[in-house]
Amino acid sequence: MVNIYVGNLSYETSEADLRNMFEAHGQVDRVSVVMDRMTNRSKGFGFVEMPNDKEGNAAISALNEMETGGRKLMVNVAKPKEDRPARRDRY
C-alpha cells in the first residue's frame, strides 16, 4: 500500500475530485482533504491511499507538478506522522 501526500491543492478541490484524479491510475482505497477546524475550509493538501505500489508510484509520477485549479500539484509518498508532544493552551 502507498500513502500519497498531495500538496498545493486548490481550496475548491473536493475529496471526489481528488479520487477521480487518482482513479485514472489505479484502485484508490481512501482519500482525504485536510480541513481547517476553525473555518471548515481546505488547508490545500490531502492524502490518498492506493493498495497497489506499482499503481501508486505511477500516479505519483503522472500527477506530480500537474497543473489543476490554477496550481501546480506537489505529489509524493507521505512521510510517517511524527509523534508530537500534546499542545498546551497558552491562556
Rounded CA Rg of the chain: 14
What is the side-by-side strand order in the sheet with 30-35? Answer: 30-35, 42-50, 2-7, 74-77
Q: Write out the chain's pLDDT in tens, 91 residues.
A: 999 999 999 999 999 999 999 999 999 999 999 999 999 999 999 999 999 999 999 999 999 999 998 999 999 999 987 776 776 766 5
Report the pLDDT value the prediction gives residue 19, as an integer from 0 to 100: 98
Report the pLDDT value the prediction gives residue 81, as an integer from 0 to 100: 77
Cell of 83: 509523534
Report the pLDDT value the prediction gives residue 85, as an integer from 0 to 100: 73
Q: Does domain 2-77 have CATH number 3.30.70.330?
A: yes
Domain residue spans in the chain?
A: 2-77
